[in-house]
Amino acid sequence: MAEHFHVNTPLLECMRMSKRLGIPVYLKMENSQPSGSFKIRGIGHLCQQLARQSKGVVCASGGNAGVAAAYAARKMGVPSTIVIPSSSPQLVVQRLQDEGATVKIAGKVWDDANAEALRLAETEGLTYVPPFDHPLLWQGHSSVITEVAASLGPGVKPGAVLVAVGGGGLLCGIIQGLKNVGWMDVPVVAMETVGADCFNAALKAGKLVTLDDITSEAKCLGAKTACKQAFEYSQSNELNIISELVTDQQALQAVQTFLDEERVLVEMACGAALAAVYSGLIGRLQDEGRLPTLSGPLVVIVCGGGSINLEELSSLKHKLHV
């Protein structure tokens, strides 16, 4: 068996974004992972640690965690059951089935699907694979920063890292990675969409909060409650985590600009991070002094996502009037 399931992804200099911002911008291309998103880093690691002897894994997912779990399970010769909410697009079902997963649809949003996955783990004796809240996931995700450090080479440190937040698993992995390579002082800009903003809401409230509903179309950011570790990091004086929101329209516009300029199609969850560049937010944060003048390149985690194709893109454009 391969040592791990993820691949070492390219770190690409992005001339168009660099020109826009007037600073070097690098793209960490997690969309090119075998499962289509960064999720395979953490989930692959967790499955290798916890599911080798398993009679089956079960994962609740907006889409990408499920594809990663199904991919890892297939490679390990273990059956997988993936529970998704009815809000996930139909194309996700097909992708999961292509990976050999048994797909169940439960509830309207991820939290509903998760309740069903936990029930199945209990009643059927399956190994539960959490999509964002587990130290093994964060450890797996942290490899993204180790790779960035290796690609940038000695003496080059990012000015900031730009990342999307759903339940906060990727954010925790990034922070862990920054700690591992001694880059604790690098600010992290953590992006969500309005209506899938559990992390931002927690920061505003000064404690974890559970959203009433997910009203954003960025369904893969749609956890109602952020993980505790992400919130705790946000409260640490040693770290600089800047939480910001964009609208669904801005996230979708960013998906389209990225497709047009970089010829890569990503889903809205990733568009939320890209929108920080295209909407001028990064520049604004610098003008307001909330983000220090960047002493190194901006590293954008292109988290990817498979819940999109041309049909889904045009349906989202129609729905959001973009």
- Selected from 120, 145, 149, 165, the binder of ligand PLV by CB under 6 A is 165
Question: How buried is residue 207: exposed, middle or buried, by Cβ count under 10 Å (0-12/13-18/19+)?
Answer: exposed
- What token pair was written down for 195? 């209506």
Nearer to ligand PLV, 68 or 160 (CB): 68
Nearer to ligand PLV, 147 or 197 (CB): 197
Nearer to ligand PLV, 225 or 286 (CB): 225
d(CA 197, CA 89): 20
The string of DSSP codes covering 2-55 is -S-SS----EEE-HHHHHHHTS-EEEEEGGGSTTSBTHHHHHHHHHHHH-TT-S
Nearer to ligand PLV, 24 or 130 (CB): 130
**8 Å CB contact between 162 and 299:** yes
d(CA 199, CA 145): 21
Give the count of beta carbons closer than 10 Å to the beta carbon of residue 156. Answer: 13
Nearer to ligand PLV, 23 or 251 (CB): 251
Residue numbers 20-79 binding ligand PLV by CB under 6 A? 37, 39, 61-65
Residue numbers 249-268 binding ligand PLV by CB under 6 A? 267
Q: Does 110 bind ligand PLV (CB under 6 A)?
A: yes
Nearer to ligand PLV, 256 or 296 (CB): 256
The gap from C-alpha 303 to its chain's centroid, in whole angstroms, comes to 5
CB 215 to ligand PLV: min, Å = 14
- Selected from 5, 71, 132, 183, the binder of ligand PLV by CB under 6 A is 132
Q: Does 305 bind ligand PLV (CB under 6 A)?
A: yes
**Which one-letter DSSP state was computed for residue 294?**
P
The gap from C-alpha 313 to its chain's centroid, in whole angstroms, comes to 19
Nearer to ligand PLV, 141 or 157 (CB): 141
Q: Does 269 bind ligand PLV (CB under 6 A)?
A: yes
Number of residues in contact with ligand PLV under rule CB under 6 A: 28
- What token pair was written down for 83? 């529970």
d(CA 169, CA 12): 24
Q: Near ligand PLV by CB under 6 A, which window of 50-58, 147-155, 218-226, 243-251? A: 218-226
**8 Å CB contact between 67 and 33:** no
Q: Near ligand PLV by CB under 6 A, which window of 69-77, 163-171, 201-209, 239-247? A: 163-171
- Selected from 131, 158, 159, 187, the binder of ligand PLV by CB under 6 A is 131
What residue ranges bind ligand PLV (CB under 6 A)? 37, 39, 61-65, 110, 131-132, 164-171, 220-223, 267, 269-270, 303-305
